[in-house]
């Protein structure tokens, strides 16, 4: 009781805030985990065009993607395409090599 008189409600408010922040952060992590484009994202096709990328490392293969998949190219990305920094993190290879 005495301590609360010295710091009226402050400590309590702060720990409530931390609880809310903590729950918020957990919720965000869960949402990101569940929303992260999982299996629904189209896989890197295993066809004549894309086959040659299978034996390459991801980083190496990704250098070639924009030559066709960029604005005004053969197969431009959809307008609402998410950030495209690392193609193969989202468009996984269809088959394990
Ligand atoms: C030589 C041009 C070319 C290059 C290089 C290329 N693509 Fe493609 N890509 C195409 C064309 C054309 C299509 C559409 C026809 C098809 O599915 O093969 C396509 C289709 C796709 C699709 C959609 C498949 C589907 O099911 O609709 C994905 C995903 C894709 N490419 C990813 C990639 C990635 C990742 C790379 C780099 C590793 C890459 N492409 C490199 C030409 C290319
Ligand atoms: C953050 C994840 C992510 C990254 C990185 C990414 N993509 Fe995508 N891409 C998607 C999603 C999600 C879609 C929506 C359609 C789907 O389900 O494939 C899409 C759609 C596409 C399509 C159209 C597929 C179709 O026919 O509907 C192509 C082609 C494609 N991406 C190529 C690429 C290329 C090339 C790169 C690298 C320059 C790349 N993507 C990077 C997530 C990603």
Where residue 89 sits, what CATH number does that domain have?
1.10.1130.20
The answer on 74 and 49 residing in a single domain is yes
The answer on 79 and 50 residing in a single domain is yes
Confidence band, pLDDT 50/70/90 cuts, at residue 1: low
Confidence band, pLDDT 50/70/90 cuts, at residue 40: confident
What does the chain look like in DSSP terms, one character per residue? -HHHHHSTTHHHHHHHHHHHHHHHHHHHHHHHHHHS--TTSPPBP-STTTGGGTTS-HHHHHTTGGGTSSTTSSSPPPTTPPP-S-HHHHS-BSS--
The answer on 55 and 21 residing in a single domain is no
Q: What is the pLDDT of residue 7?
A: 65
Could you tell me the residue range of the domain that residue 71 belongs to? Answer: 39-97
Q: Which residue has the higher pLDDT, 55 or 32?
A: 55
* Stretch 21-40: mean pLDDT: 83
The answer on 91 and 73 residing in a single domain is yes
> Is 71 close to ligand 2, i.e. is its CB under 6 Å away?
no
The answer on 51 and 19 residing in a single domain is no
Q: 62 alpha carbon to ligand 1 midpoint, in Å?
A: 11
Q: What is the pTM of this model?
A: 0.76
Mean pLDDT for the chain overall: 85
The answer on 59 and 29 residing in a single domain is no
The answer on 64 and 43 residing in a single domain is yes
Q: What is the pLDDT of residue 41?
A: 83
Atom of ligand 1 nearest to the CA of 64: 5
The answer on 77 and 95 residing in a single domain is yes
The answer on 73 and 51 residing in a single domain is yes
User: Domain count of the chain?
Assistant: 2
């Amino acid at each position: 009781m005495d301590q609360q008189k010295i710091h009226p409600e402050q400590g309590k408010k702060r720990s409530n805030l931390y609880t809310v922040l903590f729950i918020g952060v957990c919720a965000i992590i869960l949402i990101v985990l569940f929303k992260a484009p999982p299996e629904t994202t189209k896989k890197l096709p295993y066809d004549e065009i894309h086959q040659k990328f299978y034996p390459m490392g991801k980083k190496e293969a990704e250098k070639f993607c924009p030559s066709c998949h960029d604005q005004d190219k053969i197969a431009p990305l959809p307008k609402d395409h998410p950030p495209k920094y690392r193609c193969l993190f989202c468009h996984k290879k269809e088959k394990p090599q």
